[in-house]
């Protein structure tokens, strides 16, 4: 045998290579060397298989173990194709030049690189592994896998030729089936006859908008002229509180009427089917139900919050969303953002209020002939704050327009002031878009008789307690929210309610207003304008222990629960035996802790008893 020609990698030769990585058996053709398009088919095959394995792992975690799916439904068919592209392209770019210089080295890298990239993408999604550990494990798998495949080169290529068409066809058929089934379901829903006879219901959530920043709650100059006008048409609750200082559990309470301590949803865990949702109940009453959300991460369908909706829109099929489908693509995006100093990711694929409005109006124009329940989640006031013009220039005249973040370690008096003014500009933009939506609904004849509820899921801290952002404490800026209701001819105009109320009371209130029985515990808030206000009840909030946050965050010390009863509010910490007590009449910003005062002992004891009666809940998942 001409060993010199064999070492050059000429195709078609037969023989045995005992040393090095490759070994071809007599009587079997040597694997193709990189030189023709067919030689790269194994690279595509490895990429597809890695994508399918990742999809299988995600499906197992989501459907079997109730883990949140932080992606749209298109991930199920799109991830394998994306994985194949992300693995094949760099492999060809690296291995093809190498094959011209050294055919043996090029052949070696044709297996090594895709196995390394694929293993890295699968391992990076596992919790508890550092990037260096993932890289070392992926390198080890790639080297051993390359040795194993090289010894079976011809057989492996035969397997690739037989199965590659099927692997390519599966995601294509899956994507087509997903979108065709959606279209068929919506067409079927439009053909259904009239449903119930109740009013149209519009539920609007202004994600991350705190009450103290709106004109209707005393902020001057007002950031919210349209919301101020809307408040004059109905009932305003001056002391409304969210059940949690972040999105997922507060939305779950909004839909189920339950405290967050009763619910399964958490940082990584979906809402289970223990309690019925508002969309399910209204759907059984003949309502067409639609949900359109901008906070795709913690209000998307993958959290379980879409249960009961006929139509639910969350993620949009755009490049920034597609690049979140696989572990490998996420790492590429993170690396590119770091190298190019790009803005935070959610800004690059943020769904703005104007688009939320368009989506709702488009759905209304083709909705079934029945009353509707529409839930809208707006995300424009969430960090990073980046209001459109002219709202940026109004709030920050002369400042260069760039996203404002609340990252720990970068806080200073000027940066906090800049961030808060950008936040106010974002609220101004959001308010203008709410006004535009109401104008469009009036033109369609919807607004005049609709029951409209506007609230927030939680607030935001701007260093009032040495904190920024939300989800890290239960102080008033994080949980005191706006709550406005209007229904022409049914609710009093310009009424204000001073008693503390909970976001979790909305489902029971809505069912009473519709004159229907419902499974929601309440109490209903309708009694405040029907001369039968509900008896005094504690308004409860809570947040679970969170890892991977600074140690000095309150939530890093364990569970936090709070109870508001009348003018007093108590915050209990898992690691603080005393806790914090505030008098909201004299100290609405919660700046003075009264828990150590002797005269406050009976109040403290009553609020502690209230919190002891709450089920402790379950251990929190890592954030």
Find the CATH number of the domain harbouring 267.
Answer: 3.40.720.10
What DSSP line would sit under 199-261, residue for residue? --EEEEEETT--GGGSGGGT-SS-S-HHHHHHHTTSEEEEEEE-SSSSHHHHHHHHHH---GG
Residue 333 lies in a domain: no
Average pLDDT, rounded, for the chain: 87
Q: Among 79-83, 102-106, 201-205, 215-219, whose mean pLDDT is lowest?
A: 102-106
Sign of CA dihedral 242, 246, 247, 250: negative
Q: Examine the domain organization and report whether 474 and 540 are in the same domain.
A: yes
Residue 45 lies in a domain: yes
Give residue 189's pLDDT: 77
Give residue 169's pLDDT: 95
pLDDT in tens, 484-522: 999 999 999 999 999 999 999 999 999 999 999 889 998
Its domain, for residue 502, covers 200-316+351-612
Q: Examine the domain organization and report whether 406 and 548 are in the same domain.
A: yes
The average pLDDT across 304-313 equals 95
Give residue 343's pLDDT: 55
Residue 195 lies in a domain: no
pLDDT in tens, 147-159: 888 787 788 888 9
pLDDT in tens, 425-438: 999 999 999 999 99
Give residue 31's pLDDT: 53
The CA distances from residue 348 to 295, 323, 328, in Å, are 13, 12, 19
Q: Examine the domain organization and report whether 447 and 579 are in the same domain.
A: yes
Q: How many domains does the chain have?
A: 2
0.85 cut: is pTM over it? yes
- Alpha-carbon distance of 332 to 165, in angstroms, equals 28
Q: Examine the domain organization and report whether 307 and 372 are in the same domain.
A: yes
- Is 505 in contact with 257 (CB distance < 8 Å)? yes
Residue 619 lies in a domain: no
Residue 9 lies in a domain: yes
């Amino acid at each position: 045998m001409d060993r010199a020609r064999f070492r050059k990698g000429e195709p078609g030769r037969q023989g045995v290579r005992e040393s090095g990585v490759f070994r071809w058996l007599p009587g079997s053709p040597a694997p193709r060397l990189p030189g023709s398009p067919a030689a790269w088919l194994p690279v595509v095959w490895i990429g597809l298989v890695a994508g399918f394995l990742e999809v299988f792992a995600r499906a197992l975690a989501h459907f079997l173990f109730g883990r949140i799916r932080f992606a749209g439904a298109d991930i199920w068919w799109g991830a394998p194709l994306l994985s194949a592209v992300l693995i094949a392209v760099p492999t060809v770019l690296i291995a093809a030049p190498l094959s011209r210089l050294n055919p043996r080295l090029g052949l070696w890298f044709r297996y090594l690189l895709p196995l390394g990239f694929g293993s890295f993408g699968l391992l990076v999604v596992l919790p508890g592994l550092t990037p260096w550990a993932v890289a070392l494990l992926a390198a080890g798998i790639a080297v051993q896998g390359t040795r194993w495949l090289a010894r079976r080169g011809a057989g492996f290529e035969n397997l690739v030729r037989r199965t590659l068409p099927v692997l390519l066809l599966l995601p294509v058929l899956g994507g087509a089936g997903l979108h065709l089934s959606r279209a068929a379901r919506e067409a079927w829903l439009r053909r259904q006859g009239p449903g119930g006879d109740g009013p149209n219901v519009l539920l609007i959530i202004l994600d991350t908008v705190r009450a103290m920043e709106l004109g209707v709650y005393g902020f001057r100059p007002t950031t919210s002229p349209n919301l101020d006008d809307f408040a004059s048409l109905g009932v305003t609750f001056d002391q409304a509180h969210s059940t949690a200082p972040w999105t997922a559990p507060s939305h779950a309470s909004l839909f189920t009427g339950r405290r967050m301590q009763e619910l399964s949803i958490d940082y990584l865990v979906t809402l289970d089917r223990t309690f019925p949702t508002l969309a399910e109940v209204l759907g059984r009453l003949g309502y067409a139900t639609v949900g359109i959300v901008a906070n795709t991460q913690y209000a998307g369908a993958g959290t379980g919050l879409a249960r009961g909706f006929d139509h639910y829109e969350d993620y949009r099929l755009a490049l920034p969303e597609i690049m979140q489908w696989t572990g490998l693509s996420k790492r590429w995006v993170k690396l590119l953002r770091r190298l190019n100093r790009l803005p935070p990711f959610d800004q690059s694929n943020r769904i703005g209020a104007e688009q939320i409005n368009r989506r709702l109006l488009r759905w209304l124009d083709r909705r079934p002939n029945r009353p509707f329940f529409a839930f809208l989640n707006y995300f424009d006031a969430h960090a990073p704050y980046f209001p459109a013009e002219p709202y940026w220039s109004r709030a920050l005249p002369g400042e260069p327009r760039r996203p404002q973040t609340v990252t720990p370690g970068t806080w200073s008096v000027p940066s906090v002031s800049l961030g808060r003014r950008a936040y106010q500009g974002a609220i101004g933009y959001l308010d203008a878009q709410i006004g535009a939506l109401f104008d469009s609904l009036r033109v369609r004849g919807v607004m005049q008789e609709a029951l409209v509820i506007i609230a927030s899921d939680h607030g935001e801290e701007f260093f009032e307690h040495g904190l920024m952002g939300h989800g890290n404490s239960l102080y008033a800026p994080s949980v005191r929210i706006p709550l406005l209701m209007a229904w022409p001819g049914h609710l009093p105009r310009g009424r204000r309610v001073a008693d503390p109320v909970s976001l979790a009371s909305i489902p029971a209130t809505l069912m009473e207003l519709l004159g229907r029985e419902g499974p929601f515990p309440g109490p209903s808030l309708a009694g405040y304008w029907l001369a039968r206000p509900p008896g005094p009840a504690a308004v409860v909030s809570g947040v679970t222990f969170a890892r991977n946050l600074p140690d000095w965050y309150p939530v890093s010390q364990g569970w936090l629960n709070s109870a508001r009863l009348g003018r007093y509010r108590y915050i209990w910490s898992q690691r603080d035996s005393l806790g914090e007590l505030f008098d909201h009449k004299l100290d609405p910003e919660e700046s003075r802790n009264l828990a150590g005062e002797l005269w406050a002992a009976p109040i403290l004891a009553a609020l502690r008893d209230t919190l002891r009666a709450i089920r402790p809940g379950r251990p929190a998942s890592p954030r």
